Amino acid sequence: MATLRKTILANDQFYHIFNRGVEKRDIFTDKREYKRALGTLKYYQYRNLAIKFSKFLVQTPQNQEKILTQIVKPGNKLVDIVSFCLMPNHFHFLIKQLSDNGISTFIANFTNSYTKYFNTKHD
């Protein structure tokens, strides 16, 4: 049974967000996975994304630039990522929420995207 979060995440406040791999297993096993995670967190800090990160990556450089130009605008961020640390079996983010449900949306998008990538790569 899922439990609902009792603490409300407020805009313009800072939060320490962390998560660990299932059974403390590694979630970053090589440099390529760290690089993928970095790209994923940079991409999903924005809202109103037309395509998933995996689809973004297969676009031509010109199309990627066009997409980024459309989303990287003042007022279009869900969160500010103040700092982060990616460890072999977990991660930490210090995040400032900029819009309603920004942290929840960002974390859901980041973890779902990276998890699908990792699970596909590792069968």
The string of pLDDT tens digits covering residues 14-34 is 999 999 988 999 999 999 999
Q: How many domains does the chain have?
A: 1
Judge whether 45 lies within some domain.
yes
- Burial of residue 55 (number of CB atoms within 10 Å: 0-12, 13-18, 19+): exposed
Domain assignment of residue 52, given as a range = 14-121
Judge whether 3 lies within some domain.
no
Judge whether 5 lies within some domain.
no
Query: What CATH number did the domain enclosing 88 receive?
Result: 3.30.70
Query: What are the two backbone dihedrals, phi and then psi, of residue 4, each rounded to the nearest 5 degrees?
Result: -90, 145
- What predicted TM-score, i.e. pTM, was given to this entire model? 0.90
Judge whether 4 lies within some domain.
no
The string of pLDDT tens digits covering residues 66-111 is 999 999 999 999 999 999 999 999 999 999 999 999 999 999 999 9
Judge whether 111 lies within some domain.
yes
